[in-house]
Structure 1
Amino acid sequence: MNHAPTVKLDADRLEQAVASVLDAAGLPKIVQAGHPVLRARALPFTGQLSPDELGRLIEIMTETMRAAPGVGLAAPQIGIPLQLAVLEDKYEVDADIAAARDRAPLELFAMLNPRYRPVGTELASHYEGCLSMSGWQAVVDRAAMVDLAYDDEHGTARTRRFSGWQARIVQHESDHLEGTLYIDKAHTRSLAAAAEYSERWAGPGIAAARAALGF
């Protein structure tokens, strides 16, 4: 991780943030880079929410993620400083791109208090984006395989192994809960506006972008 965020969080702020989302009439806004909550280590879940509240929050986060659309959403991205994220990847992808990125469908799941560790030393380098950095993409080197330890919404401790694009999603969302954005780990010379990325660099690999942009 990069430098430790210094933003201070407390139980009152968590309670207020959760209430604002649960009581709202529509889906919450996804906050953008520059919002302090994205640079704070989220509070561990220790039972601050009732099972009903937690279930409702997960449902709202899932709807928000799908509406964006995205493949993951961490609670800080809707202003809630809690170590909670939802992940799902069931989009149809070009076969060549799916093969190059080792991208397979990921069934919906929620993770609380996640911690991941790389398995082996292999890295995968691909463009990725973030719902909290709308309109931009950059290349990030990520562990090709990780072991994830987390609690599910029922409080059961679980461990799972992920590889390929699924491992990238797990790392990206877990990083959010530590106050880390993907740009902190990206090759900044690869940074591309959405239109440039779509026109030039949205192919299966990054070789052309690497050669042209010099990263």
Structure 2
Amino acid sequence: MATPSHRAPLAELVEQLLDTDGPLPIVTAGEPVLRAGTERYDGQLDAALLSRFVEALRLTMHAAPGVGLAAPQVGVPLRIAVIEDPAPVPEEVRLARGRVPQPFRVLVNPSYEPVGAGRVAFFEGCLSVPGWQAVVARPAEVRLRCEDEHGRAVDEVFGGWPARIVQHETDHLDGVLYLDRAELRSLSSNQTVAERWTQPTPERAAASLGFELP
């Protein structure tokens, strides 16, 4: 367990963040906290403060809106993230992307590993890189190991869009942005994606912009 002197700085930082009502500010690319990696959660926040922080992450994720949010995205270098996806998408998109509803979850100290060799590529965005999207190839299935906010062990296989969310948010905790894994020739503004690349899969974008898909 962390010593009290080790806990204090992060607890004080979280207390300061929670001092005001409403969503927390989301930091954007270029902020060192997004690249520094995170500290494994080991009791740096007491149970009540952790609960308040998780609720603030949930509120901030909903307000953004997004389907995941990691602690570094609000300036806190702790290995904690939240995910939730109501998946309000057309049936053809659901089938192509495997985008199914995902309940609210708290990921504490998560790690993942690929299950099988399958890879899939889709446009992906990030609340910390506002205004842009790019195609990212990722493992189609991953095994997630973590704990929930109550310290219970989680060991679960995710596929489809939930697997992408798990990978994206866990990457944040390692100082990795989706752009590090993206096909940069696909980089498109949100407006261009809305105008040109709303198809369920990125095949047309790949052909037009000159990049390969797995």
Give me the TM-score of the superposition, normalised by structure 1: 0.93
Inter-partner Cα distance in structure 1 for 2:150 and 2:183? 38
Q: Deviation of residue 12 (structure 1)? A: 5.4
Q: Deviation of residue 211 (structure 1)? A: 0.6
Match of 1:85 among 58, 68, 81: 81
> Counterpart of 1:75?
71
Inter-partner Cα distance in structure 2 for 1:117 and 1:17? 31
Inter-partner Cα distance in structure 2 for 1:202 and 1:19? 41
- Distance change >3 Å, CA 39–CA 13, structure 1 → 2: farther
Q: Deviation of residue 11 (structure 1)? A: 5.1
> Counterpart of 2:172?
176
Inter-partner Cα distance in structure 1 for 2:159 and 2:36? 27
Q: Deviations over 1:120-179 (max 9, x none)?
A: 000010000000000000000011000000011111121111000000000000000000
Pair 1:199 & 2:208 matched: no
Pair 1:60 & 2:56 matched: yes
Match of 2:31 among 32, 35, 51: 35
Match of 1:94 among 67, 80, 90: 90
Q: Deviations over 1:76-121 (max 9, x none)?
A: 0011110000000003101111111011000101011000000000
Alignment of 1:152-163 (within 5 A): 152-163=148-159
Inter-partner Cα distance in structure 2 for 1:77 and 1:127? 20
Match of 2:22 among 26, 31, 40: 26
Name the SS for the 1:154 alignment partner: coil
Name the SS for the 2:103 alignment partner: strand
Counterpart code for 1:174: T
Give me the TM-score of the superposition, normalised by structure 2: 0.93
- Consecutive unaligned residues in structure 2, runs of 5 or more: 1-5
With 138-147 and 11-20 compared, the bigger mean Cα shift is at 11-20
Counterpart code for 2:114: P
8 A contact 2:168–2:178 mirrored in 1? yes
Match of 1:127 among 98, 123, 130: 123
Aligned residue-pair number: 206
Name the SS for the 1:62 alignment partner: helix
- Distance change >3 Å, CA 11–CA 52, structure 1 → 2: closer
Structure 1 residue runs of 4+, over 3 Å off? Answer: 10-13
- Distance change >3 Å, CA 37–CA 171, structure 1 → 2: same
Identity, % of aligned positions: 49
> Counterpart of 1:4?
none
Q: Deviations over 1:38-80 (max 9, x none)?
A: 0011110000111110011000100100111100000000111
Name the SS for the 1:26 alignment partner: coil
Inter-partner Cα distance in structure 2 for 1:192 and 1:12? 42
Match of 1:167 among 157, 163, 170: 163
